[in-house]
Amino acid sequence: MVSSLAPIKYASLLMGVWLMGSFIANIAAGYVASYVEVLGHLQIFGGIAAISIVLGAVLLVLSKKLVSMME
């Protein structure tokens, strides 16, 4: 996805940004997993669901602008 949408001169930089995002997500997953015993499964997965819903709504609002930027 990154290599097909990025300008050629920024493709390698954006691939690095993509991999750094994956690294940060894995660190965050370990951080969240350390709180499962303290908070319980319902709060953890409820929080993940709430964050996903909010971010999905933000993407829905910005979708037309994002599609126009990809073309």
Give yes or no for residue 8 having a pLDDT over 90: no
Instruction: Please state whether the predicted TM-score (pTM) of the whole model is above 0.75.
Output: no
pLDDT (0 to 100) of residue 11: 86
Give yes or no for residue 55 having a pLDDT over 80: yes
Report how far apart the first and last C-alpha atoms of the chain are (Å, whole number): 13
Concatenated DSSP letters of 8-69: GGGHHHHHHHHHHHHHHHHHHHHHHHTTHHHH-HHHHHHHHHHHHHHHHHHHHHHHHHHHHH
CA 60 to chain centre: 15
Burial class (CB in 10 A: 0-12, 13-18, 19+), 38: exposed
Domain ranges of the chain: 1-34, 37-71
